[in-house]
Amino acid sequence: MLLRADRGNSMGRLYLEIVTPENVLVSQEVDTVVAPGSEGEFGVLPGHIHFLSGIVPGELRYDSGTTKESMTVTDGFAEVSNDRVSILVDAAEKARDIDVERARRAMERAEERLAKDRGTEDIDFARAETALKRAIIRIKVAEKSK
């Protein structure tokens, strides 16, 4: 369990945690969070009302002082409560860590699978569509952050 540090009289901040089954990617105070929710993109500022949302594959952004961070996330959930934003997702990757060439190869493989006849039994088209979307998001986020 992580405890939020005493903020004293400083400006309101949020405590952001982004967690995958493998590890905790982010655990820090931030100023704003923008995430891809199941009902559309949502933003969170200090003092935000409590809510829960599904997270869909897309770009998650957060600011801390003059630092702006961007990352890709997959399916999961978000909880906003008491100036704490908890994001639990299957996978997440910071923009600076994305291997664009690997993402391009994954996109090409997915496109090849999707180009085949829908009657082909050895191809999981739903999985190929998910892989294609994830690759496109990874490329977009990586290129945008350059």
pLDDT over 70 (residue 10): no
CA distance 56 to 89: 9
Average of per-residue pLDDT across 24-48: 95
Looking at domain 14-95, its CATH superfamily turns out to be F0F1 ATP synthase delta/epsilon subunit, N-terminal (2.60.15.10)
Ranges in the chain annotated CATH 1.20.5.440: 98-144
pLDDT at 2: 33
Q: What is the pLDDT of residue 120?
A: 65
For range 106-118, the mean pLDDT: 84
**Residues forming CATH 2.60.15.10 domain(s) in the chain:** 14-95
Mean pLDDT of 94-102: 90
| Average pLDDT across the chain, whole number | 87
pLDDT band at 30 (very low <50, low <70, confident <90, very high): very high
CATH 1.50.10.10 fits 98-144, yes or no: no
Burial bucket for residue 137 (CB in 10 Å: 0-12, 13-18, 19+): buried
